[in-house]
Structure 1
Amino acid sequence: MLLLRKYVEAYTDQYKKASEDVQAYVESPINAYLLVKRLTTDLQVVQDLIITNTESIADIDKLKPGLKFPSDEDLNGAAMALARLQDTYKLDTSSLANGEINGVKCAAELTAADCFELGRQSYTNADHYHAQLWMMEADERLKREVNQTVERSEILEYLAFSTYKLGDVGLALDLTNKILELIPTHERALINKVYYEDEIATRNAAQPKGEDGSILTSVQNKTEDMLFYEALCRGEIKPSDEILAQLKCRYTDNGNPFLKIAPFKVEEAYLDPKILIFHDVMADNEIATIKALARPHFKRARVKRYTTDALNISNYRISKSAWLKEIDHKHVADVVQRVEDMTGLSMETAENLQVVNYGIGGHFWPHYDFATKGDPKAFNRFERKRIATVLFYMSDVAQGGATVFPYLNIAVWPKKGTAAFWYNLHSSGEGDLHTAHAACPVLTGSKWGIYDTK
């Protein structure tokens, strides 16, 4: 009953904090992970604890059909998002566990069990680097817990094997011996102990090491392109002062008589290729309407592609998307007309508006908006060429979420009501390889955008 009361206290405390400001609460990646965990693995534990009370189980079962509970896949996605953010933005494991992101307290502290589950999810994905980080944090927090939330033997078992997979067989053996000190008859630990001892005896490390014998981390296994992209996302790389000095802001009417009265405010983000930022081009009521129209039609885009990073396979794009037509609402038609006014391009052959929501950890790796001819750096393919792209930002993002152009060293940061515009093709019709761009992971907040391509 004591453990059950602890869960009741945890659920009650989380409910109270979330009720103060639901939107702000779930925009923290730590809170988002905790909420999903409470409604998946934790809820299963609660049900197991009260399994003898058929009346309570029946009450829970009655609730489930009317509510949409997260799945184990959602839990894995939330854990992977935290790991992705941890790498991209160089976030300290202990600070995250304390509920802090870049020095800002945005969530409650994680328990040893919460850290353990993050490590276990990483382990399930064969991401032994993050599994090791979170199991070590779980072990440290367990030592400080009066009412321990997870068995230390479980932490050590995952930690030992991940440490072995990262190449440190000696430490894996030491951790396994600690398991046997706690549980001398632990079956898997007894088997692994013999295996690790044989490995050390034959000096046959299972994983590659660096030239100095050090363990290869996930950062060392990343390509230079990926490390550069992440540095752009953190705002560490900018164009040279010479390039920045040439950029200007101006009003433009594009020869449109109506715009003589209300010209567009344009900021140059880059000159060649030309990337422009249009300010104050969407009103709040338009944004609210378009979000509401898109929500019922959202489809999750979780695309996996083979990569050269430590996991060999990665989520190339994580977002939710919906397509809207001009006939769906006047505001949709207004936005399409506005794109024509902004760019001077006819919208007769343009694609429908693509509304995209990038939640916690949502991102889109470097790609082009045009079909390529065997270029090795192209990540995606299209059936036809897209002349130009307009990207409207429908929300501010507290941290992260920039649109970056790796070949140009620039980052466009989301600002509600603005829009970025660039040509994907040269005047010859050939694709401009300098327009490769990416959506950085959302660190805190939620990023809404509209893509309009022609």
Structure 2
Amino acid sequence: MHLFLQISAQEGIKRRLYGQFISDLKLLARFDLEVVGHFMDINLTTRKLPIGSDILRQIEKYLQDFYGAREYSKDSNASENISMNPVCAFRIIRRVKYLLQNSILKALFRVKFGDELRRIVLFLFKNGWIKTEDFEFIIDSILRLASVYNVDANKFAMGQISETHITNSTLNSIHCYEIATVAIQRENFVSAIEWLELAKEKNLADQLTSLPFVEILLRKAIDEHNMYFEEDLMMDLEPNFFSRKITYMPNDSKNAIKLQSLQYEAFKGKKGKRDKYYQVNYLGLCSGRHFQTDEEKLQLFCWNEFKIHPSFRIGPIKMEFWARNPDIVQIYEILHESEIETIISDTSPNMAVSKFVGKKTSTSDGRGAKLEIADRKVRSSVNTWFTGSESMKLSQKIERITGLLAVSPSAAEQLQIASYSLGGHNSPHSDSDELRKVWTEGPRIATFMFYLNDVEEGGSTAFTSLGVAAKPSKGSALFWYNVFSDGTTDWDVIHGACPVLIGEKWVANKWIHFYDQFLLRKCGMRRKERFQIPVNNMFEIEVHKLSASTFPMYL
């Protein structure tokens, strides 16, 4: 026990973010695979341990959990592949945190297997022990993914993460019970009741958990749901409710309608400042629906841009409109593989839990803004800042493409590199708000966001008022303006990062400031006008006068 406490209390060592950073989760998966190899040797060499001993049972339990999940593969990349799946990630984190701890804390293990113990301790000393928050983070991710992508608990527990991705790794009654416990803590009553009902069903087959405990917790979840539920305010409640009170009858919840479904049908595609519209459209866009009208779609096209900068006359860049008025454009193939590798390799060691701008304070970052850890319900990612000569080159590239100043410190912020793990997301928000006006550089006039990798499933950027979601494409970038010509926030470019369902997501954000761009932007006839993105030096009115065949399209 003293050894474990020493490891847990280590200070001065950067602890790995196993639940929030895929690179750290892959490292844990490789470690887990090594532990399995050591435990297999121990299990086969019974001369060191009495048959039926407690320590041998713990080792067998670890191996059964590993092979029972059917995660094993002769593929050398198996540990990395399984860590990209939320169910597999849950089992890896749980196995190492609890089952490994139960094994190495046995006195007989320390006596008989000193070499194995030293290897385990060395890893934990260098990287840190898994904390409860890591375990709860991956459960939060599972709950979020099931909700956003409308995957019911039973399918998730059977390994059917999506229509195209089915894993052999499954969840038993204990796992379902643990997920439900966190759901109750988060007041996610729909999920809590679903997972507890599933725990009851699975317990009949595996008998791994206490049925009375499950039933007691289920009654607690139903009671709390019914206590907070108000029928008159139903459409204004959080979506974590059913549309009526639930009875204690077995599986009654399966006959009730989820409030999330009712709200979606009522509010989908609507625009306005109401938060409910943002959230409902976000759910729809992330799950593959679009809300643009036929008229809006007719305004969209792709083209080869060769006039915005002399360098593009030799090598035009491929661009595509996702929305018009406000304009959202995606620029393709503007980052080389070597540039992407440099960004990721240079920033990976410095990743930390994402923060957001809090209330103004005297002890700040010099701009009057305090940085606070982001609420996981709002945002779950890790990030850092990319500086140096390579960053300067990217800023110069942004200037050539946008015509905006982005190199000087007053013109734009440093390049922020962000990584989203399984379930990693960012709720709908504006990149420019009233708070940022206190900064001397002005609000963020525009956002330029590089996609550094392809995402296997999920991870789109959803523009909730515009009814469209852009998909990550490695080496491309999204560009849009956040404010009107007078610097006030354009709420129609509210956007959110959809949760990563399978894999990981890497982006690089460049936020460009307002005041330094004053002499570069034309003054409009009205106080509040939108900035337009030109097409080969022509703006929207000029473009409409010409036929589509005028432009060299690439699709």
TM-score normalised by structure 1 residue count: 0.80
The aligned counterpart of 1:346 is: 405
The AA in structure 2 aligned to 1:100 is Q
1:153 Cα deviation (Å)? 2.5
* Distance verdict in 2 for CA 1:257–1:220, change over 3 Å: closer
1:39 aligns with 2:96: yes
Question: 1-side partners of 2:204 and 2:357: how far apart?
Answer: 38
Question: 2-side partners of 1:213 and 1:364: how far apart?
Answer: 30
Give CA-to-partner distance per residue, 1:377-415, whole Å, 9 cap, x none. xxx987440111111111111211111111111111111
Give CA-to-partner distance per residue, 1:91-123, whole Å, 9 cap, x none. 111110001112321341112222222122223
- Give secondary structure in 2 for the equivalent of 1:100: coil
CA contact (8 A) 1:231 1:237 kept: yes
Match of 2:197 among 114, 118, 136: 136
* Distance verdict in 2 for CA 1:126–1:141, change over 3 Å: same
The AA in structure 2 aligned to 1:214 is K
1:84 Cα deviation (Å)? 0.8
Question: 2-side partners of 1:247 and 1:5: how far apart?
Answer: 59
1:86 Cα deviation (Å)? 0.8
- Give secondary structure in 1 for the equivalent of 2:488: coil
Q: CA RMSD in A?
A: 2.8
Question: 1-side partners of 2:497 and 2:244: how far apart?
Answer: 36
Match of 1:271 among 324, 337, 359: 324
1:82 aligns with 2:142: yes
Match of 1:425 among 447, 466, 483: 483
1:56 Cα deviation (Å)? 5.9
Number of residues of Structure 1 aligned to a counterpart in Structure 2? 397
Q: How do 1:206-217 and structure 2 match up within 5 A?
A: 206-210=227-231, 214-215=245-246
The aligned counterpart of 1:164 is: 223
- Give secondary structure in 1 for the equivalent of 2:378: strand
CA contact (8 A) 1:302 1:315 kept: no
1:314 Cα deviation (Å)? 6.1
Question: 2-side partners of 1:353 and 1:417: how far apart?
Answer: 15
Question: 1-side partners of 2:356 and 2:102: how far apart?
Answer: 32
What is the aligned-residue identity percentage?
Answer: 26
1:235 aligns with 2:288: yes
Question: 1-side partners of 2:357 and 2:149: how far apart?
Answer: 21
- Give secondary structure in 2 for the equivalent of 1:266: strand
Match of 2:159 among 88, 99, 104: 99
The aligned counterpart of 1:108 is: 169
The AA in structure 1 aligned to 2:148 is T
Any stretches of 5+ residues in structure 1 without a counterpart? 168-205, 306-312, 374-379
Question: 1-side partners of 2:335 and 2:58: how far apart?
Answer: 51
Question: 2-side partners of 1:160 and 1:381: how far apart?
Answer: 49
Question: 2-side partners of 1:241 and 1:96: how far apart?
Answer: 36
Question: 2-side partners of 1:30 and 1:218: how far apart?
Answer: 26
- Give secondary structure in 2 for the equivalent of 1:404: strand
- Give secondary structure in 2 for the equivalent of 1:414: coil
Question: 1-side partners of 2:316 and 2:466: how far apart?
Answer: 28
Question: 2-side partners of 1:73 and 1:247: how far apart?
Answer: 44
Q: How do 1:278-297 and structure 2 match up within 5 A?
A: 278-297=331-350
Deviates more, 1:410-419 or 1:380-389: 380-389
* Distance verdict in 2 for CA 1:229–1:151, change over 3 Å: same
Question: 1-side partners of 2:225 and 2:510: how far apart?
Answer: 44
1:218 Cα deviation (Å)? 6.3
* Distance verdict in 2 for CA 1:47–1:116, change over 3 Å: farther
- Give secondary structure in 2 for the equivalent of 1:113: helix
The aligned counterpart of 1:402 is: 460
The aligned counterpart of 1:6 is: 61
Q: How do 1:231-380 and structure 2 match up within 5 A?
A: 231-301=284-354, 315-325=377-387, 327=388, 329-330=389-390, 332-347=391-406, 348=408, 349-372=411-434
1:316 Cα deviation (Å)? 1.0
- Give secondary structure in 2 for the equivalent of 1:293: helix
Question: 2-side partners of 1:271 and 1:214: how far apart?
Answer: 44
* Distance verdict in 2 for CA 1:289–1:132, change over 3 Å: same
- Give secondary structure in 2 for the equivalent of 1:35: helix
1:267 Cα deviation (Å)? 0.6
* Distance verdict in 2 for CA 1:225–1:346, change over 3 Å: closer
The AA in structure 2 aligned to 1:415 is S
Give CA-to-partner distance per residue, 1:231-261, whole Å, 9 cap, x none. 1111222311111112111111344222111
The aligned counterpart of 1:178 is: none
Match of 2:449 among 351, 369, 391: 391
Give CA-to-partner distance per residue, 1:262-283, whole Å, 9 cap, x none. 1111111112111111011111
* Distance verdict in 2 for CA 1:112–1:303, change over 3 Å: farther
- Give secondary structure in 2 for the equivalent of 1:315: coil
1:136 Cα deviation (Å)? 1.5
1:66 Cα deviation (Å)? 3.7
Give CA-to-partner distance per residue, 1:158-216, whole Å, 9 cap, x none. 2221122122xxxxxxxxxxxxxxxxxxxxxxxxxxxxxxxxxxxxxx44343685349
Deviates more, 1:223-232 or 1:88-97: 223-232
1:219 Cα deviation (Å)? 2.9
* Distance verdict in 2 for CA 1:389–1:56, change over 3 Å: farther
CA contact (8 A) 2:308 2:400 kept: no
Q: More strand by proportion, 1 or 2?
A: 1
CA contact (8 A) 1:303 1:317 kept: no
Question: 2-side partners of 1:291 and 1:164: how far apart?
Answer: 48
Question: 2-side partners of 1:324 and 1:421: how far apart?
Answer: 19
* Distance verdict in 2 for CA 1:81–1:128, change over 3 Å: same
CA contact (8 A) 1:273 1:435 kept: yes
Question: 2-side partners of 1:278 and 1:453: how far apart?
Answer: 16
- Give secondary structure in 2 for the equivalent of 1:269: strand
Question: 2-side partners of 1:346 and 1:98: how far apart?
Answer: 52
The aligned counterpart of 2:49 is: none
Any stretches of 5+ residues in structure 2 without a counterpart? 1-51, 233-242, 247-256, 264-275, 359-374, 513-555
* Distance verdict in 2 for CA 1:7–1:255, change over 3 Å: closer
Question: 2-side partners of 1:265 and 1:161: how far apart?
Answer: 56
Question: 2-side partners of 1:411 and 1:114: how far apart?
Answer: 33
CA contact (8 A) 2:229 2:245 kept: no
1:364 Cα deviation (Å)? 1.0
CA contact (8 A) 2:451 2:508 kept: yes
Deviates more, 1:352-361 or 1:30-39: 30-39
* Distance verdict in 2 for CA 1:266–1:304, change over 3 Å: closer
The aligned counterpart of 1:55 is: 111
* Distance verdict in 2 for CA 1:72–1:314, change over 3 Å: closer
CA contact (8 A) 1:323 1:355 kept: yes
1:334 Cα deviation (Å)? 2.3
Deviates more, 1:155-164 or 1:315-324: 155-164
CA contact (8 A) 2:437 2:443 kept: no
